[in-house]
């Protein structure tokens, strides 16, 4: 099957709105089952695939997601371009709640996650070039699509991937800021690296749900209600961006 584009939905995005002729695929891979059935369907006369990263009922915490199975399932169905939609906390002053960011760099702070396809018996040892972790092509297409859809997207930024599921301490975020991180999330890695191992073009669309710990200029505590409201507002902007991307 030729799939023009696949989306991995994060917190707040569990199905793709407007998908025509949806078909559910219960895929099992050599690496196990993905988080949910992959749903394929048509959008703007193009075939797309959707996968809910945390499961359709949000039952998987970031460190329990089988990232290998997710990426392998999309690959096996024919996806060669994948956009990961990720909820994040904003560190940089212009990355306030509801901002949408297309990061161009990442730093991996996760630990203990299975992070490569290369650790199985008989697999070739790959040392992928990961100096630019996201596809420049796909990022440029997403940026142009957002402009056509008149949706503000911040181009560039460094995504720091933490282990979670807890949020960070103020000191951890302060260290991440010193390291050069602009955003913090729990699911950006190893997803991006696994996609690169399979030669998939991968980009991250980061939706800012809250100020990262200690970054709120009004010093408010992070509340779950607020996070969900901000995330819902940012998530509503994703379908028009994707529609504009597919129209080209
Ligand atoms: N930290 C880590 N991951 C997140 C955050 C955060 O503040 N917000 C949404 N995902």
Instruction: Return d(Cα 64, Cα 72) in angstroms, integer.
Output: 16
**Pick from 57, 159, 151, 30: nearest CA to 104:** 159
Average pLDDT over residues 22-35: 96
Question: What's the CATH architecture for 5-246?
Answer: 3-Layer(aba) Sandwich (3.40)
**199-235: per-residue pLDDT in tens?**
999 999 999 999 999 999 887 777 888 889 999 999 9
The whole-number pLDDT of residue 57 equals 86
Ligand 1 shell residues, CB under 6 Å: 87-89, 162, 167-168, 184-186, 209-210, 212
**Pick from 171, 166, 149: nearest CA to 242:** 149
Domain ranges of the chain: 5-246
For residues 245 and 145, the answer to whether their CB atoms sit within 8 Å is yes
**Pick from 209, 164, 145, 218: nearest CA to 183:** 209
Compute the CA torsion angle 186, 3, 242, 210 (nearest 10 deg): -10
Q: How far is ligand 1, taken at its centre, from the CA of residue 88, in Å?
A: 5
Residue with the smallest CA separation from ligand 1 atom 2 is: 185
Q: How far is ligand 1, taken at its centre, from the CA of residue 167, in Å?
A: 6
Closest atom of ligand 1 to CA, residue 186: 3
DSSP letter string, 123-166: PPP-----SS-S-HHHHHHHHHHHHHTT---EE--EEEE---SS
Question: Which helix (DSSP H) or strand (DSSP E) does residue 69 occupy?
Answer: helix 67-76
For residues 63 and 113, the answer to whether their CB atoms sit within 8 Å is yes
Residue with the smallest CA separation from ligand 1 atom 6 is: 89
Q: How far is ligand 1, taken at its centre, from the CA of residue 115, in Å?
A: 20
Q: Is the pLDDT of residue 1 over 80?
A: no
Higher pLDDT, 122 or 206: 206
**Whose structure tokens read 């749900």?**
209
Count Cβ atoms within 10 A of the Cβ of residue 135 and give its class: 0-12 exposed, 13-18 middle, 19 or more buried.
Answer: buried
Q: Is the pLDDT of residue 120 over 80?
A: no
Mutating to test ligand 1, I would choose from 168, 211, 225 the residue with most ligand atoms within 8 A of its C-beta, which is 168
The whole-number pLDDT of residue 76 equals 97
pTM, full prediction: 0.96
For residues 83 and 142, the answer to whether their CB atoms sit within 8 Å is yes
Q: How far is ligand 1, taken at its centre, from the CA of residue 187, in Å?
A: 9
Mutating to test ligand 1, I would choose from 97, 167, 187, 235 the residue with most ligand atoms within 8 A of its C-beta, which is 167
Mutating to test ligand 1, I would choose from 212, 216, 225, 226 the residue with most ligand atoms within 8 A of its C-beta, which is 212
> From the DSSP assignment, how many helices (H) and strands (E) are in the chain?
6, 11
């Amino acid at each position: 099957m030729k799939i023009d584009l696949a989306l991995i939905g994060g917190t707040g995005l569990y199905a793709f709105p407007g998908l025509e002729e949806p078909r559910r695929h219960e895929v099992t891979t050599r690496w196990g089952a993905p988080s949910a059935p992959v749903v394929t369907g048509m959008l703007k006369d193009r075939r797309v695939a959707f996968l809910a990263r945390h499961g359709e009922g949000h039952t998987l915490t970031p460190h329990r997601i089988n990232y290998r199975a997710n990426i392998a399932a999309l690959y096996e169905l024919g996806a060669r371009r994948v956009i990961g939609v990720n909820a994040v906390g904003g560190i940089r002053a212009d990355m306030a709640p509801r901002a949408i960011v297309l990061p161009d760099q990442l730093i991996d702070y996760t630990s203990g996650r299975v992070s490569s396809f290369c650790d199985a018996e008989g697999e070739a040892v790959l040392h992928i070039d990961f100096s630019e972790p996201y596809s420049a092509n796909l990022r440029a297409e997403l940026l142009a699509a957002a402009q056509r859809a008149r949706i503000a997207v911040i181009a560039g930024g460094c995504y720091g991937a933490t282990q979670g599921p807890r949020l960070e301490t103020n000191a951890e975020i302060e260290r991440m800021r010193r390291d050069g991180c602009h955003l913090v999330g729990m699911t950006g890695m190893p997803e991006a690296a696994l996609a690169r191992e399979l030669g998939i073009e991968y980009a991250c669309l980061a939706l800012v749900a809250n100020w990262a710990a200690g970054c709120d200029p009004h010093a408010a505590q992070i509340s779950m209600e607020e996070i969900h409201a901000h995330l819902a507002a940012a998530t509503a902007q994703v379908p028009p961006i994707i529609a504009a991307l597919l129209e080209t």
